[in-house]
Structure 1
Amino acid sequence: MSESLNTQLAEAFGLAQSAEAAPEAAPEVTPEEGQETVEAGQQEQADNVQAEGDAGDSGFYITDLAEDLGVDISELYGLKVDIGDGKEMTIGELKDLKQGTSEDVLAKERESIDQYRSQVMEQTRQEREQMLQQARGVAEMPEKVQGLKSELISLTQRYQSVDWGSVEKQDPGQAALLKQKFTEMYNQTQAELGQAEQAAGQQQQADRGQLMQTSNAEFARRVPGWQDNDVRSKEIDLIKVMTQRYGFTDQEVGQTIDPRLRHMLRDYAVLQAKYDGANANAKKVVGKGNAVLREAALASRARHKTGTDEIIGKAKDTRDKRDIMAAQKALLNEAGVM
């Protein structure tokens, strides 16, 4: 393919020309003409890009370009262009890259998200399993302590199985020596047991502290609102109120390690507080309603009594039979007879 063709293609695509194709000597132009040429080229490039986007098919644009230049389209696809950082790609490679379907992109993104979700779930599962194992380790008695306790039981059983009366009759000195040996072995084992229990207690305390740190971190991830000191303090008080209602002590609640259980206690305490608040508001509303009804009833009775007095007064004044009957009816109504 000729050098002039390479130049035309590079200008048409608005791309740097390949190092393989040296540019032809350009005619001298004035700065003003050069600026106009650059602006015209940029506008033409923008128009071509827009036309290509509107068409939705870069092959259509390249086909027209090949016809205009009088070359085979394969020559266009084989043209190498500089894509920056000293790298080159052919027009065909750029076209294939651009025509990667959105379905493929979405599929890759979905696969990436699924992989990430699986990793997070697996990590969470491993952390929970580790937490449960640590919790079981805290609850279990160390093997050394169990062994020493078993040894003490065995020494006691061996001592009790000896017929010391017979041994003392046969050989008092040997009996005293055996008793002393048993006593020394028992005391030594008991001392080792005390040291082992102390070390185990310290280790359990350290393990529990580490376990609580892990639990606190998981709980903080589940309930980010507790980063606010006021919110945390308020909800801790709600948890205390709710758990004390069911007979739990603060110490028992404080020993809860599993972050899932702590999360559930928090949610239930907050929900219970909302429920209690709603009940209290409902009682206030009912109380206000009853007060209003009582006031309305008293006012109605007052108005009714005033009307009865007027009817009776009229009957006294007129002595009319109908007014007297009306007064009697009003009195009966007031008494609740009619």
Structure 2
Amino acid sequence: MWTGAWRRPHSYGDAAAEARHVHEALGLIDVSTLGKLLVEGPDAAAFLELLYPNRFADMTVGRIRYGVLGTDAGRIMDDGTIGRIADKRFYVTTTSTGADTVIEWFDWWNAVWGMDVQVVNLTGALAAVNVAGPRSRELLGRLTDVDVSNDGIAYLDAKEARVAGVPCLILRIGFVGELGYELHFASPYGEYLWDTLLERGADLGIRPFGLEPQRILRLEKMHIIVGQDTDSESNVLEAGMSWIAKLDKDDFVGKWALEHVQARGFREQLVGFEMANGVVPAEGGQIVVDGCSAGRVTSARLSPYLGKAIGMAWVRPQLAAEDTQIEIKVDGRLEAARVRLKPFFDAEGARLRA
């Protein structure tokens, strides 16, 4: 299936089984399509602080944070992770379709600000895979000499190490909600490292999984997909990520717009929902209250692990409360659902931090 300019496997035959297997054992997915940027220079931290609503200057070397990039009008344009790999060097990932837009955005603002920072697009030069599941640490331990215990590589750590002899940047992050590691490395090693991971993980039950299983798994954690769960008007406050907007910072791109949203109040909010009877509504389906449209579905899937039909939707603010009953139009009839504000799976993140 196509994702922007990239063609990626939908699945390897059974998307539901692949999603369940990541929870129960060990999965491997190619995430080389992620945008990958190097931001380096004396002003690198200050530069990122101005571009993103959250903080990066206080990060210690070897740590990662999630970041949502906003326009000067406060609208969500991209998201990804930012890892501090040296005092004046940051490794930034973007969505698979966002790398070119993000680097143009970075360059445009740096032309305005004139800061002492360089931005390099490494997207094509680096490959990346995500090893995920309860057995991922055991597999990684077989292939590297570094300490892979929770003390050695903690959640949201970034560490450079050799994996199967290949120099890698290991990012311990979890888009799919399980213990996992992203390995970023020079793209000529891509096929070799993929085959080696499958070979050395065979007795652990490793299986590749595709984009559709990944989307099921991320939905269980209520992780957004920019452009699907967001649109041209979405901002981090109404999208349920107010924690990411550090409005006490002196300035950042879009700050005034987010302050305006906070002052005027929310017009809609992004929430999760759980269907009462297991039917999966269409993405774009309408939330209905008293015969009138009160929101729209952005994502919906049947979770094979949870045995529930789950999704995300934009709703009126008065509906954005835990366990609020809503109705969703499905094939011309109204089906009952309840609002959920916490992730459907591992709400406290114990599996990610294990």
TM-score, normalised on structure 1?
0.18
Structure number with larger C-alpha Rg: 1
Name whichever structure is richer in strand by fraction.
2
Name whichever structure is richer in helix by fraction.
1
